[in-house]
Each structure stands twice: as structure tokens, then as C-alpha cells.
Amino acid sequence: MNLQEMLRKEDYDKIWEKYCGFLDLNIDEFMQIQERLLIEQIDILYKSKIGKKIMGEIKPTTLSDFRNRVPLTTYEDYADVLLNQKEDALPCKTVYWIKTTWKGGTQDDMKQAPYSQNMIDEHTKSFIATLILATSKKKGEFSLRAKDKFLYGMAPLPYLTGLAPYVLKNEIEFEYMPPIKDAESLGFRERNKVGFELALNKGVDLFFGLSSVLVKIGEEFISRNSTREKKIIKPKTFKMKMKLAKAFIKKYIKKQPILPKDLFNFKGIICAGTDSLAFRDKIDYYFGKRPLEIYGGTEITTAAVETWGHSGLTFFPDVNFLEFIPEKDSIRSIRDKNFIPKTLLFNELEANQKYELVTTKFRGGVFVRYRVGDMIECVSLEDKVYNIKLPQIRYIDRISNIIDLAGFTRITETTIEQALKLSQIDVVNWVACKEYDKNEPKLHIYLEARGNLNELTIKQKIHEHLKQLDSDYLNIEQLLGRDLLKITLLKLGSFENYLFSSNSLYVKINPSRETIRGILASSR
């Protein structure tokens, strides 16, 4: 029986138990599921060429054996098999090849991950749980229904978000705006424009996409309604006609700006992306609905979801086997390639500590003890308000040698070095970090350079070459209309003075705040 049939029969308690019952687990029950599925995955993976390559010729038989003998891995360990789609080396038949950015924002530089049918089924279940929670105000109650109107804010296949309509179609029918076939033939900007116009005419219930995209939709709505542009809106429902009438009263009689929330009444908003937490208040202001954050990725699918209190995300127990590298060991391993960090299990996390995530994909996946490249924080060991007895986490950002901007692009040291070289700026030294200015993520580059150049000129040069090198960085400007680059020009000798006074080394990407303060002090 699929979800739509269960909804028709009003089996709401059974639906909740099937999809959201994991929220009632305690930590011991969670770990039992983790270990059982890990042993099953080892058996599946060991029969494949890639499994033997990663795990060795002797199959691990216990959890401790697995963690002691199987090394931590990165995408380079799988690249030859996955980039060439060597099906004969995989543990299961691939249904979809899902792609994402790897080392830079170009179509020629994309990671690929194989999705088996069991992985698809697991992903479907997790995403339905997310939809239920997004339309829920308390345990056991939710307003998700068949034929809900779904604003299509997702990147199409082969990206992970584009998988959602295809995995959901066998479970529940939604009215996508624009329809899937139309959406996939439209560019990003046109897709959002058409979907939003349909929503204005028919109403909307659900949204799923990048938080930065929804903020952009809200900004464009306000901008359009603050001008004299007269867009003909022809509501097709009585409810939308009433909302439109009230909106005109607000604008022309009360002289107040019309916001999207004056026309829409979302049941649920689901947002992903690096900076979802930063964009949350804007989304709430524009759309009158607090977005529900999910955490996942190409290699790990939907891994964790927020609940009612918006105080943290809860990991799904049956999606990935979870391990964690303490932050200090993660940073040390970046600086010292010979250092092999130890991991902790989910039941060993401590509140208010940050960790690098390591996962093993269940259900016939290929990634084993895989360093995802993400930093998370354990904000608490349980949610006492809503009686969730599992650690609550927050996705913080990419690991310290990568800068992720608005969920669109991942800037590396190599990319910045190339942009500086192409800009023909005589750079002596530099560091870059991700900072926030009025809840807007910024790529802030601190540099010292020879020559008579000002910050604006340097910024223009670097900005243009970053756009040439990284198409995703270009999309931030073209699709979101955002300028996320900031340059601070330092006096010559600033870095040398800092090194002399502090006698400490630093990383180029995301150095500590103490390092930034020290370099700035040396520039005065």
C-alpha cells in the first residue's frame, strides 16, 4: 500500500509510524539499527570488485573489525570506477547516476554516484518523512495530502534534488508547478518564473529547493510589486481571488508593501543548502512559514531532518552508518597528510562540539568510511521539549579547506590561486574565509599585493576570473543576483609580521578567527 492509498484510508497513525517512527528511538535502539545494517552492507559490498578494493581481501565480520581495518576514504578512491561508470565493479545494478560538483564548477568536473533500487526506496522513505514533518506542527499530526500543489524549485536530474518527483510518483501524486516535463526543459530562471506565476494563479502548498533560491524569489516578488509594472494575475480559485483582493487593499489603501505571504499559505517549506540557517529569517518574513531544513548530499542522500522546534536535525538511522572525526583532528589531518584521525560513533558525540562526518552508505551503496567533506555540530544530546532522545545536530559548513557559497559552489585554494594568477595581480600572500554580512554569506579574501591598486579594482579582476573558472560561481551572480565577494587589501609585510610575532602556521582557506585578527593587527 503506497502513501496515497494510506492517506485515502486516513491511516494517519500508521503513516506516522512508518515514516517518522525513528523519532521515538533511543540511542541504543538507533545504534542497533546502525550495526545491523552495516553488517548487511559489508556482505553486499564484499562481493564486488570495488568492495574488495576498499575493504581488502579479508571481509570484516564485526563493527570493531570494520573500523580497525578499513581505511577512511575520499572520492579519489572511487573516481576511476565511478567516473567511468564501471558497472561490473559495483555491488548492485545502478538505476540512476547522480552528479554533483567535485573540484570546480564545470560540467567536465563532476562527481558521480550510483543509486541502486534499494537506495532509491530508502531515499523515497526519507524524503516522505521530510514532507510529513514540514507539514506538521506536533507529533502525529500533519497536513500533507495527495494533489498538493508543489512549487518546483529543484535542480533537475542528474542532480539529487531532481530525483524527488521520480521517486515520489509511485507513492503520492502532486501537482508540480511547472509540470515536470516543462520544468526540465526550462532554464533555472525561467523555471522559477513560470512556477511562481502558476502559484500566483492557483495557490501553492509545498516548496523544496535551495534556501538561497527561495529568498531570491521573495526579493523579486517585492521588487516587482514596488514598481509600476502591471502583471495580469487571473486567480483560478475563490481562495486566491480573496487573497488577491486583500493584497490590493493592503497596497493601495493601507499603503503597505505586498509580501508573498499575503498571497500564499504554504503547508510546508523544505530548504537545503549550506546557508539555510542564515536565510531562515528572510524566508519566514517573505513567506510567513519557517522553513524545515534537511541535510544530505549526492553521496549520502537525505541524511538528517529538522523537526518542530527548529533546534537541530535528527539523523535517519537506516540511511548511512555514521562516524565522526573531532574538529581538531579533522583540521590536523588537512595540515598533516600522514596523520590518520580516529572516529567516534553516534553514541559518543558530545554536546556543543564540532565534527567532520564520515559515512558508509547502506543498501548497496559504494562509499565506505567516506569523508563527506562536511562539518556538523552536535548542539544537544536530545530534544527534551519534543521528547526526541537522539543527538541533535546542525550542518555547519564544508571542511576548512573548502568554501561553500549559498549551496551553489565550492571554492578551493586552487580556484583562488588560478583567479589571482589570471588577474595578473602581484600578490605577496593571501587567505580566504567564509564570513557573514547581515546574514549574507561572503567569500572574503584578505591579501597583500605590490603595485598601486585599490580594493575595488582588485575585486573586479578576481571576480571576473572566478566567474570564468567556476560556472557555479557565475550562477550566483546571474541567477541569484548576489555579489558574494569581499576583498580586504593589507599593507605589505602583514603576513610576514604576523608569522614573526605569532610563530604559528595557518591554512589558506578558512583560517581561524584568531589568525585573521592577528593578520589585521599586523597590517595596522
The string of DSSP codes covering 352-392 is TEEEEEEEEE-TT----SEEEEEEEEEEES-BTTTTB-S-E
Confidence of residue 471 (pLDDT cuts 50, 70, 90): confident
For residue 37, the one-letter residue type is L
Gyration radius of the chain over CA positions: 24
The 8-class DSSP code of residue 489 comes to E
Average pLDDT over residues 469-473: 86
Q: Give the residue among 13, 407, 506 at the shortest CA–CA distance from 208.
A: 407
pTM (2 d.p.)? 0.84
| Cell numbers representing residue 208 in the block | 523544496
pLDDT at 225: 67
SS3 of residue 345 by DSSP: strand
pLDDT higher than threshold 90 for residue 272: no
| Cell numbers representing residue 428 in the block | 605577496
> Which stretches of 249-391 are DSSP H helices?
276-287, 327-335
Other beta carbons within 10 Å of 284: 14
pLDDT tens per residue across span 111-146: 999 999 999 999 999 999 999 999 999 999 999 999
Measured distance CA(308)–CA(1) in Å, rounded: 27
Confidence of residue 152 (pLDDT cuts 50, 70, 90): confident
pLDDT higher than threshold 90 for residue 110: no
Beta bridge partners of 294: 305
Confidence of residue 232 (pLDDT cuts 50, 70, 90): low
Checking 43-48 for CB contacts under 8 A at 24+ apart, the result is 44/91, 44/92, 44/364, 45/91, 45/364, 45/366, 45/368, 47/91, 48/89, 48/90, 48/91, 48/366
Q: Is 252 left (phi over 0), alpha (psi -120 to 50) or beta?
A: alpha
